Chains A and B, each alone.
Chain A
């Protein structure tokens, strides 16, 4: 492998890594903000709330992320009304389209994880909380959230790594994150093996950092629990 060439490419790839990380963090936060109400809606007894949430989750978990991204980035431009609206400023930009697609997608997966975690809190505890007169809000705050959050973490950390890997799809809408930069570099250098190897290493490092920090968080949260 040509060391000089790698030295030249590395600054570009560091820039790409920055874009990938930005995508991941914005998506993670926006996705979580969306996922919690979605999970509560899905668990709700009211059909008016649970059916739309079910449909949303069903669509986004049942179709490929690439299709979702293409519908948002290419699809909406088909309509005159969208092109003339204020949203066009965002929808013509590949960064914001990627963020939107990844957020909608990860929210659906995270909502299912959170829903499962909420349901796994023992019924007896909730009944006990009701019988000593706690309000719904108090039950969520004191009983459900502390337990459900620890239960949700392993699944959620898996989902985060999958989402991070998913951000490589942004390269298909011409966003220059790690994969996009790598593909450009290959077009210039004709060295696919070397370039993909470097990109693969960067992704491996990122995912190990994610997995490591989330399992640290998990250990912190469960350290007080009796084993």
Chain B
């Protein structure tokens, strides 16, 4: 059953593409998530209103629609806006840009709440104490706030990353060379759908398993020393 008819290389290349989308989207997601949390906590009405609607839209609309919208609609919107501003250009969105942008913003939308809750979970007294002994804003962030936010946020961010990993399969519908698309191409040529899709499933399972193990050790490290003094 595990004769891959010479398509093993294509599946490996696809896996590399999938991992690339996962990591780039994670980076976009973490940055937009932190920015969103900052906006929600800033107390500026328009900023928190914007981030709230971002979260609501992402929560309610299927990722597939969002990916298709950005890929097929994004170019049209950019070109129309450019035409309104008097530029005569034609932009076509490349699949990987559409994929990373969409999946990153989906991740970010959920991550804003994870970061927001984690920031609020840090005890106010610790920050006051740090300021009282003369730490500057940067030092307070680096030494007191960040290590604790990281500890509180890690489980939630890890869960979201697992969801993101599985969502990357959707990117195959816009024609990016990733695992699912390469598996489908192999199926089209060999007429062995079960073989290739089960192989793809096992590769995804391998990726999610490795991530689970890495996250376990990261959480353990983030929690070092917690509960030792009581």
Contacts and interface: CB of A to CB of B under 8 A. Distances in A.
Q: How large is the interface on B (under 10, 10 to 19, 20 to 34, 35 or more residues)?
A: 35 or more
Contact of B204 (A62, A79, A197, A204): A62
Contacts of B194: 71, 74-76, 78-79
Contacts of A168: 62, 64-65
Given A74-B187, A192-B69, A196-B73, A62 B64 contact: no
A71 B201 contact: yes
B62 A70 contact: no
Interface residues of A, number: 40
B193 A67 contact: no
Given A65-B166, A165-B62, A193-B76, A200 B69 contact: yes
Contacts of A67: 169, 180, 197, 200-201, 204
Interface string A70-98: 11001111110000000000000000000
A131 interface: no
B60 interface: yes
Nearest to B1: A78
B167 interface: yes
Contacts, number: 114
A64 B166 contact: yes
Nearest to B167: A64
A66 B72 contact: no
B77 interface: yes
A63 B65 contact: no
B62 A196 contact: no
B170 interface: yes
B91 interface: no
7 contacts: A67-B204, A74-B193, A75-B194, A196-B69, A196-B73, A203-B62, A207-B59
Interface of A: 58-59, 62-68, 70-71, 74-79, 161, 165-169, 171-172, 179, 182-183, 186, 192-193, 196-197, 199-200, 203-204, 206-208
